[in-house]
Structure 1
Amino acid sequence: MRIAQVASLYEPVPPPRYGGTERIISYLTEELVKAGHQVSLFASGDSITTSRLHPIIPRALWEDSQPCANPLVYHILLLEEVFKHKDQFDIIHFHTDFFHFPILRRLDVPHLTTPHGRMDFPEYIPFFREFRDIPLSSISYAQKQGLALGNWVGTVHHGLPLSLYQLNENPSDYVVFLGRISPEKGVDDALAIARMAGLKLKIAARVGLGDDAYFEKLLPEFKKKNIEYLGEVTDKEKNELLGGALALLFPVCWPEPFGLSMIEAMACGTPVIAYPHGSIPEVVDHGVTGFIVKGVEEAVDVLRQIHSFDRKRCRQRFEQRFSAQKMAEAYISLYQKVIAQKRK
């Protein structure tokens, strides 16, 4: 199959540190190439891939030292480049939000769009009522529940290369928070859980866009005893950090669309302790890959018994459910479905 993957230009594919969407695009692209498909990746020029790369700009916008006054102009160039080559593909897979929708309607090539964020915003209702003909794939069942009128053709959970992270059956004496410093990610609850449990907390996270004031508010907490703020970490550092942790704390208070760090922890055999919001109940197998709790006190109770957790079983369940190969195979099935629908 001839497949185009279209990424935004904010981060390279894959990103050097934080960037869940671009990381998934990379894993999917490489797995499709490995399976023998002809894949083209439309992304920034500093992306690394075994597919055919169509570089739109030399460096990703958030990696470039030169400020960009209007990122939209480069993303319009991205679309123009995709459409110049449209006849070379059996399907075009977009990971670029929704600004391409008006053009897709006028495109005779099969296409699929995967939103990677939450879908329950009020302004999405009139937008997707207008564009209900555009085929969408969700990254969790919970994500698409936020927008029932979307033209959802399927759901594909994220997956990771099995060799990316290794099982660690002998963790250290700390818990970890990994991801983004934003109110909805629950860093304050992670701090409370670690404090009440009497455990060290390592925080590996990037400050979310527009969340500088929230970060400044938390900064005094980060400087307290038994708290270590690491900033962003690489995959190699993440493997050691997650593998050495007693648990990943994931106390989100928003409709989490997926939560990539959860399956990264599972790959290391590290249990996830999470609140039951958004996709958490469908990603975490309670008692097997982690524990779904309703608040700080329940999380602390779980941590008191965490040394009996079967980390090997956790890794095995991760391999069964969240491999990059399984993700790629699921997308191929969706591509075939979309292509068949286009031919009718």
Structure 2
Amino acid sequence: MKIAQIAPLIESVPPRLYGGTERVVSWLTEELVRQGHQVTLFASGNSITSAELVPCTARALRLDPDVRDAIPHQMIMLDKVRERADEFDILHFHTDYLHFPLFRSERGRTLTTLHGRQDLPDHMLFYRRFSDMPLVSISNAQRSPLPGANFVATIHHGLPLDLHAPSFNPQGSYLAFLGRISPEKRPDRAIAIARAAGLPLKIAAKVDKADHTYFRDVIAPMLNGPEIEFIGEINENAKSEFLGQAAALVFPIDWPEPFGLVMIEAMACGTPVLAFRCGSVPEIVEDGLTGRIVSDVDEAVRALPGLLKLDRKAVRSRFEERFCSARMAAEYGRIYQRMLHRLPTLDSGYRHPPRVRPPSMDRAPEAPPTAA
């Protein structure tokens, strides 16, 4: 098939540092090329890919100090896609929903993966207006606020099996926090858990401009003492060491997380996950097997001794079974084929109101069983 992958322009594909969506687009694109598809990637000019690259900005917008508003750049990219649309069998967007009005007439071969939270009131109005645009959710939890939207599948993210080497005998005894410093990610909870448990904590995290005040006023004053180490933002190469040598990943979120890529990155390293029961967490973490799911700081502290005894080889094994990029690309490939041949829905696994618009096309995966 001839497939266009349309990525966000905020980061390169793959990103140099932080950037979950762009990382997933890269893994999907490379795997589709490996499987023999003709793939064209619309992305920033400093992206690296084995697909045909259509540069839509000179570099990632986050790295360009002259960029104040991303919308004009994104709209130019969408116009480039529109100009070449007839060259492709499938147009796969990862750019939220800005393209809906432009590509509604092409909805039969247009697929949109939603990567962000969808529980905001303004989203509901928009998806009602464009209820015929086929969507993919990255977890069942992500799609639950939008029962009237045209979700054709839930496809969990996957990453290459050889990206992170597992570590079954980690040398570090620290807890790891990896991602972004923000109120919804709750690094303050991670610090509280580590201190209550008497374990060191290493924080490798990006601080966005929007979160500078939160970092300065809330988190920075908590970084006193040698047991809490703030490393800052790290790149892909550093993740294997950081996560693999950790005793556990702490994922103490306080928001409806759509997926949580860091959880499967930790699992790839064999590292168990201590996660709070929000959003996608119960779909990703198998309680008692790949991690523990808790509801508050006290429960997290009580769960830590059992968490640290989990079999790291079993954690890695479940990652390989559930979260590899080859599986992710194969699931997308089946959707592409159904769109191409106009096959009927198989999405009976997720319940939503009856619709008369174009049907859904795939079954949403069930959440994993809870271990005894």
TM-score by length of 1: 0.97
CA distance in 1, matches of 2:180, 2:325: 23
CA distance in 2, matches of 1:56, 1:187: 35
Contact 1:173 1:246 in 2 (8 A): yes
CA distance in 2, matches of 1:209, 1:149: 35
CA distance in 1, matches of 2:81, 2:245: 43
Output one character per residue of 1:56-111: Cα deviation in whole Å (capped at 9) or x when no partner: 111111122x3213322211110111111111110000001111110111337611
Contact 1:197 1:304 in 2 (8 A): no
CA 209–155 in structure 1, closer or farther in 2 if over 3 Å, else same: farther
Q: Give the match for residue 337 of structure 1.
A: 338
Q: Give the match for residue 190 of structure 1.
A: 190
Q: Give the match for residue 118 of structure 1.
A: 117
Question: Comparing 125-134 with 68-77, which one deviates more in the overlay?
Answer: 68-77
**1:209 CA displacement:** 4.6
Q: Which runs of 5+ in 1 are unaligned?
A: none
CA distance in 1, matches of 2:214, 2:310: 34
CA distance in 1, matches of 2:13, 2:320: 23
SS of 2:61's equivalent in the other structure is coil
Q: Give the match for residue 271 of structure 1.
A: 272
**Does 2:45 correspond to 1:35?**
no
CA distance in 1, matches of 2:275, 2:116: 19
Alignment of 1:116-155 (within 5 A): 116-155=115-154
**1:302 CA displacement:** 2.1
Q: Give the match for residue 242 of structure 2.
A: 241
User: Residue type of the partner of 1:164?
Assistant: L
User: Residue type of the partner of 1:286?
Assistant: D
**1:210 CA displacement:** 1.4
Alignment of 1:300-319 (within 5 A): 300-319=301-320
Contact 2:248 2:308 in 1 (8 A): no
SS of 1:163's equivalent in the other structure is coil
CA distance in 2, matches of 1:75, 1:304: 48
CA 32–118 in structure 1, closer or farther in 2 if over 3 Å, else same: same
Contact 1:86 1:109 in 2 (8 A): no
Contact 1:91 1:111 in 2 (8 A): yes
Q: Give the match for residue 369 of structure 2.
A: none
RMSD in angstroms over aligned alpha carbons?
A: 1.5
Q: Give the match for residue 169 of structure 2.
A: 170
Q: Structure 1 segments of 4 or more deviating over 4 A?
A: none
Q: Give the match for residue 46 of structure 2.
A: 46
SS of 1:252's equivalent in the other structure is coil
SS of 1:105's equivalent in the other structure is helix
User: Residue type of the partner of 1:123?
Assistant: D
SS of 1:42's equivalent in the other structure is strand
**Does 2:222 correspond to 1:221?**
yes
Q: Figure out how many residues of one structure are paired with residues of the other and give that number.
A: 343
Q: Give the match for residue 66 of structure 2.
A: 67
**1:124 CA displacement:** 1.2
Alignment of 1:83-122 (within 5 A): 83-107=82-106, 110-122=109-121
Question: Comparing 327-336 with 18-27, which one deviates more in the overlay?
Answer: 327-336
CA distance in 2, matches of 1:161, 1:276: 27
User: Residue type of the partner of 1:256?
Assistant: E
User: Residue type of the partner of 1:165?
Assistant: H
SS of 1:249's equivalent in the other structure is strand
Q: Give the match for residue 25 of structure 1.
A: 25
CA distance in 2, matches of 1:111, 1:51: 19
Output one character per residue of 1:35-74: Cα deviation in whole Å (capped at 9) or x when no partner: 000000000100000000000111111122x321332221
**1:342 CA displacement:** 8.6
SS of 2:57's equivalent in the other structure is coil
Contact 1:180 1:207 in 2 (8 A): yes
**1:306 CA displacement:** 3.8
TM-score by length of 2: 0.90
Q: Which runs of 5+ in 2 are unaligned?
A: 345-357, 359-372
Contact 1:26 1:49 in 2 (8 A): yes
CA distance in 2, matches of 1:146, 1:285: 23
